[in-house]
Amino acid sequence: MPTAPLIICEKSGRWTLALRAALRGSLRIVETRALAQCEEALAASPALLVALEVTGRSLGPALDFVARVHQNFPAARVVALLDPSSESAAALLREAGVADVFHSPQQAAAIARLAQRHAALAPVDDRPMRELLAARLPWQAWATPGFAASISPSPE
């Protein structure tokens, strides 16, 4: 089962609207509003594509975030979504390691193609559905040893 292929980290929501239209439901989108939320989503699925909105005020934290992603999540990729106040930061973001830089939500189709290519490369979890669900249950840490095996179908 492939992991969720696209995280969008933005305050405005305008990029998300454009990407939902471009993807037409073909990929799941995880929306976040803060870098900490984005890192939590990456920790849950470390091979995602992250679309990161960069404004004039968020450039420093964005550069730090890109460095952390490269260090902690080597299978993840980051693309920068620039607003007009951060247009001059494109070269700096590319040098920091973003996969690509986009300047307008009108480029959503190009981002969607990139997300679909990245999703095709995402690792596949071959565990049975019951085990996948058991692993995602919020009380997994408190489950008794062998819990996942107890809900798996018995081999016959």
Return the pLDDT at 140: 60
Instruction: Return d(Cα 119, Cα 50) in angstroms, integer.
Output: 12
Return the pLDDT at 23: 93
Per-residue pLDDT of the chain (156 residues; tens, 9 = 90+): 444 679 999 998 999 999 999 999 888 899 999 999 999 999 888 888 999 999 989 999 999 999 999 999 999 999 999 988 888 999 999 999 999 999 999 999 999 999 999 888 776 666 777 776 676 666 666 666 665 556 555 555
Instruction: Return d(Cα 141, Cα 25) in angstroms, integer.
Output: 32
Cα 111 to the center of its chain, rounded Å = 13
CATH architecture of residue range(s) 6-125: 3-Layer(aba) Sandwich (3.40)
Return the pLDDT at 111: 96
Return the pLDDT at 4: 60
Q: Return the closest-CA partner of residue 111 out of 100, 98, 95, 122.
A: 100
Return the pLDDT at 87: 87
- Locate the domains of the chain by residue range: 6-125, 128-156
Is 115 in a helix, a strand, or coil?
Answer: helix
Bridge partners (DSSP) listed for residue 79: 51, 100
Could you tell me if 8 and 35 are in contact, meaning their C-beta atoms sit under 8 angstroms apart?
no
Instruction: Return d(Cα 22, Cα 108) in angstroms, integer.
Output: 6
Task: Fill in the amino acid letter for 90.
Answer: A
Return the pLDDT at 94: 97
